[in-house]
Amino acid sequence: MARLGSWIDPHPEGIFVKPANAWVDPSQPKDRALVTHGHSDHASGGHGQVWATPETLGIMDIRCGPQNGVQMTYGKVVRLGEVEISYVPAGHCLGSAQIVMDHGGERVVVSGDYKRRPDPSCMPFQPVPCDIFITEATFGLPVFRHPDTGSEMDRLLERLHANPERCVLVGAYALGKAQRVICELRQRGHHDPIYIHGAVERLCLLYEEFGVNLGELRFATGVKKDELKGRIVIAPPSALNDRWSRRLPDPITAMASGWMRIRQRARQKNVELPLIISDHADWDELTATLVELAPKEVWVTHGREEALIHWCAMRQMKARELNLIGREDEDE
Ligand SMILES: [Zn+2]
Ligand SMILES: [Zn+2]
C-alpha cells in the first residue's frame, strides 16, 4: 500500500498536488495556484491561474494586480484532475480558507493560517475531519497563550478615555488585523469615527464591499491635530515610528499583534500599549484542533514546528515537519 498522502509533494516553494497538477500557496510563479488567503507569504503574483475565494481574489487584485482567477466560494466542490477540492473558512482574515482535497480515498486538509477564537470581520474556522492535517505553527510554543480579545480591547478604550488630549495610534497589519480591530471596537460600543492611514484604505473598502460593516472611517492624513485628540488612529506597523506619526497629537503608541506577548518586541518598536491580538491559533488552539480533528498524520508547515511535533509524538500522533521557505508572517 502506498504511503499516506503520497500524492502530496511538499517543496520549499509550496505544496504540489500531483493528481491535480496544482500548487498550494506557491511562492514562485506556477501554472495553477490554489491560494488559501491574501497575505503575501501565501498569495504572490505571476501565476497562470489562481483558485481562491472571491474575497481572496479581490485582495490579490489590489495587492498583486489583476488575477486570472477561478472563484472558489466556500463549500463548493470542484473536481480538478483526479482530486475533489473545496474551500472552507479558516477564521484567519476575510476570505481565508482551508483547502480540503480528496483523492484515492484519502482526505488532506491544508489549513493555511487559522485561528479558532471569534473574529467579527470574517467567517469562523470550520473543522473538517481528515487523514492528513497540514497545519501552521506560528505560535507553536506553550508560552503563547493569547489572552481574551475583549480584555485587550477594553485596555485600549480605557487608555483612550483617560487621555482626552492624546490620540491612540494602533499599529495593525493592513490586511486583516486593521479591520478586525475596527470591528472589535464597534462590537464594544465605540461608534466614534476611526481615523485610518492611507495604506489600509483600499482593504477597508473591500471588506465593506463584502458586507463587513466598519462604521465611520476618516482619513488621518491632512487632518488638524485638534481633531484627532481623543480619537483612535489605525496605521500599518511601519508607520508607528515614521514621520507620518509626528503630526498626531501626542500619540499613545499601541500595537495589535500576537508578538506583543514578547516584551522585548514591544520595546523595540517603542510600543507604549502592547495589545496581544492575534489572527493565528495559539498553543491551546493548535493542540485542541489536533485533538478535535484526530488526523492520522499532522504535517507542520511554518512557525515553531518542534514543540508541536513533540506534542504529537507524546500522543502517538504521527507528525512531520515541512520545510517551506519564506513563511515568516506579515500579518503578525
Ligand atoms: Zn496569514
Ligand atoms: Zn502565513
Q: What is the pLDDT of residue 43?
A: 96
H runs (alpha helix) in 163-256? 177-187, 201-209, 225-228
CB 43 within 8 A of CB 23: no
- Average predicted confidence (pLDDT) for the chain: 95
Tell whether the model's pLDDT for residue 332 goes beyond 70. no
Q: What is the pLDDT of residue 326?
A: 65
Q: Quick one: pLDDT band at residue 331, thresholds 50, 70, 90? A: low
Pairing type for strands 194-196 and 217-219 reads parallel
Cell of 230: 481623543
Q: What is the pLDDT of residue 182?
A: 98
Task: Give the span between the Cα atoms of 308 and 287, in whole angstroms.
Answer: 8
pLDDT > 90 fraction of the chain, expressed in percent and rounded: 89
1 CA to centre of ligand 1 in angstroms: 36
Q: What is the pLDDT of residue 281?
A: 97
Cell of 27: 511562492
Q: What is the pLDDT of residue 90?
A: 98
Q: Which of 171, 167, 178 has its CA nearest to residue 231? A: 167
Residue 271 three-state SS: coil
CB 173 within 8 A of CB 38: no
CB 57 within 8 A of CB 50: yes
Say if pTM beats, i.e. exceeds, 0.75.
Answer: yes
223 CA to centre of ligand 1 in angstroms: 32
Q: Quick one: pLDDT band at residue 328, thresholds 50, 70, 90? A: low
The ligand with the least distance to the CA atom of 278 is 1
Kindly list the protein residues that place their beta carbon closer than 5 angstroms to ligand 2, a single-atom ion: 41, 113, 329
Phi (first) and psi of residue 217, to 5 degrees: -110, 145
Residue-wise pLDDT tens digits, 230-287: 999 999 999 998 889 988 999 999 999 999 998 898 888 899 999 999 999 999 999 9
Rounded mean pLDDT of 173-179?
A: 97
Rounded mean pLDDT of 193-215?
A: 97
Q: Which of 122, 139, 87, 91 has its CA nearest to residue 329? A: 139
39 CA to centre of ligand 1 in angstroms: 5
265 CA to centre of ligand 2 in angstroms: 19
For 232, the enclosing helix (H) or strand (E) is strand 232-235
The ligand with the least distance to the CA atom of 37 is 1
89 CA to centre of ligand 1 in angstroms: 13
List, edge to edge, every strand of the sheet that includes 14-17: 8-11, 14-17, 22-24, 32-34, 49-52, 69-71
Q: Quick one: pLDDT band at residue 2, thresholds 50, 70, 90? A: confident
159 CA to centre of ligand 2 in angstroms: 31
- Secondary structure, 3-state, 244-255: HHHHCCCCEEEE
Tell whether the model's pLDDT for residue 133 goes beyond 70. yes
For 111, the enclosing helix (H) or strand (E) is none
**Eight-class DSSP state of 288:** H
Q: What is the pLDDT of residue 302?
A: 76
